[in-house]
Every structure is written in structure tokens, then in C-alpha cells.
């Protein structure tokens, strides 16, 4: 067998893939802290998440630049090119997921220090968060292992998150005439929406797995064609 040429370039590409996917670990950690902030209405924890988003943004910028450099200097083609293209997408997803955690955390001080929290609503949001963490872990693994079936399965899990989001909406409508409670519920709806968007980003990463492996890009679920 001929010796593998371009070893340095291949090593660099592998390192950049690991860095990009490592961004998902940062997101997962941010999400964990976000959920904690929601559960305990912890303003300090929320502020920590917001400040720490710089790390996620930094990861995006660093890996993005290195990928552009590879494109310019190494003329990647075929699978290498598809991989680089998909990593650029993944980075964007990671950055957005980080921003969604920030969006949730920014809502917590709004709800005040002792908000009229509804236990059921908080429970729904925490459940959404746990499912989303599972989605993120699965998306990461699917990409690492180039497992298209595992990637496609993300849709099923995302449906659970979508249903929980709808449950949040229904619950918010039922939360009665108390103005403070209604205000809190609407704030929590925004939080739920941000988590739902985070889950969608994980599905997008799954679509990139399929692209790397097959060379075809297809949305697993197209919002404009819900019938499939």
C-alpha cells in the first residue's frame, strides 16, 4: 500500500474537526448551567453563562479561520472538501446554540428574584433541556462516526422537544388571570422557544453528517413542507 501523503494536512484537518465538535461540549456545558439557572431562577448563574459565551464565539472564530486557510492553501477536493464545508456549517450551528443559551439566561433576571414560577412549566422546560442535551451528544457522535442512520434518528428526538414546546404554550394559556403569572409564563415561552431552536440546530448538524457521507444535502424535515 502506498504511504499516505500529506500527513500534516490530514492531521490539521482531523484536529480542526475535533475542535469544531468540541464546541458542542462547550454548548452542552452552557446548556446544563442554563437549565440550572432556570430551575432555581438563579440570576448569578445566568450571568455566568452570558459571560462565558465568549468562549464559544472564540472557538467559532479560531476554527473558522483555520478552515478558510486550509481551503486557500491545500486545494481540498472530494470528501475533504465536503468535510470542510460541513464543519463551517457545524461551527455556525454551535455558535447559534451558544447564543440561544444566552437568550434563555437573559430572560431570568426579567422574571425577578422571586418570580411566580409554575412548577409544571419549569418541569416542561427542564425536560426540553434534557432531551436537547441528548440530541447534542447524539449529533456529535453521529458526526464523529459518520453514522447517517444515527443522524437521521435526531428527527425523532427533536419531535419530542417540539411537542414539549407545544405543551408549554398550552400551559401558558391556562395560567389564569394573574398578570404577574402571565408575564412570567410568556417569558418562559421565549425560553422554551430558544431551547427548541437549539434542538433544531442539532438536527442541522445531522444533515451535515449525511452530506459528508453521501455528498447530497437534504433537509431531514422541511418546515415549509411538513407533509414530508
User: Which stretches of the chain bind other proteins, using CB under 8 A?
Assistant: 2-6, 75-82, 215
| Complex with other proteins: residue 52 or 80, whichever CB lies closer | 80
| Complex with other proteins: residue 13 or 31, whichever CB lies closer | 13
Rounded to a whole number of angstroms, the minimum distance from the CB of residue 207 to other proteins is 16
3-state secondary structure at position 129: helix
| Complex with other proteins: residue 3 or 114, whichever CB lies closer | 3
Distances (CA, A) of 12 to 20, 21, 66, 137: 12, 14, 9, 24
How far is the C-alpha of 17 from the C-alpha of 194, rounded, in Å? 26
| Complex with other proteins: residue 13 or 63, whichever CB lies closer | 13
| Complex with other proteins: residue 80 or 183, whichever CB lies closer | 80
How far is the C-alpha of 203 from the C-alpha of 142, rounded, in Å? 11
Rounded to a whole number of angstroms, the minimum distance from the CB of residue 13 to other proteins is 11
For residues 216 and 150, is the Cβ–Cβ distance under 8 A? no
For residues 49 and 151, is the Cβ–Cβ distance under 8 A? no
For residues 161 and 134, is the Cβ–Cβ distance under 8 A? no
Rounded to a whole number of angstroms, the minimum distance from the CB of residue 228 to other proteins is 25
Rounded to a whole number of angstroms, the minimum distance from the CB of residue 12 to other proteins is 14
Rounded to a whole number of angstroms, the minimum distance from the CB of residue 80 to other proteins is 6
State the DSSP H helix or E strand holding residue 143, giving kind and residue range, or none if neither: helix 119-145
Amino acid at each position: 500500500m502506498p504511504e499516505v501523503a500529506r500527513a500534516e494536512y490530514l492531521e490539521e484537518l482531523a484536529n480542526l474537526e475535533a475542535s469544531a465538535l468540541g464546541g458542542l461540549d462547550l454548548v452542552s456545558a452552557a446548556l446544563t448551567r442554563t437549565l440550572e439557572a432556570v430551575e432555581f431562577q438563579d440570576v448569578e448563574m445566568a450571568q455566568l453563562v452570558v459571560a462565558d459565551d465568549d468562549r464559544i464565539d472564540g472557538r467559532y472564530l479560531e476554527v473558522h479561520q483555520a478552515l478558510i486557510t486550509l481551503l486557500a492553501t491545500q486545494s481540498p477536493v472530494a470528501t475533504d472538501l465536503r468535510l470542510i464545508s460541513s464543519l463551517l456549517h457545524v461551527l455556525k450551528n454551535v455558535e447559534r446554540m451558544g447564543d440561544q443559551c444566552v437568550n434563555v439566561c437573559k430572560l431570568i433576571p426579567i422574571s425577578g428574584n422571586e418570580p411566580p414560577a409554575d412548577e409544571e412549566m419549569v418541569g416542561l422546560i427542564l425536560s426540553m433541556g434534557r432531551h436537547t442535551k441528548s440530541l447534542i451528544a447524539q449529533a456529535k457522535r453521529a458526526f464523529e462516526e459518520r453514522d447517517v442512520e444515527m443522524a437521521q434518528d435526531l428527527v425523532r428526538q427533536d419531535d419530542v422537544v417540539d411537542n414539549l414546546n407545544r405543551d408549554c404554550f398550552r400551559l401558558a394559556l391556562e395560567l389564569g388571570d394573574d398578570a404577574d403569572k402571565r408575564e412570567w409564563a410568556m417569558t418562559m415561552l421565549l425560553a422554551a422557544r430558544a431551547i427548541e431552536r437549539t434542538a433544531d440546530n442539532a438536527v442541522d448538524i445531522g444533515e451535515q453528517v449525511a452530506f459528508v457521507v453521501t455528498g447530497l444535502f437534504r433537509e431531514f424535515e422541511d418546515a415549509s413542507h411538513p407533509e414530508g
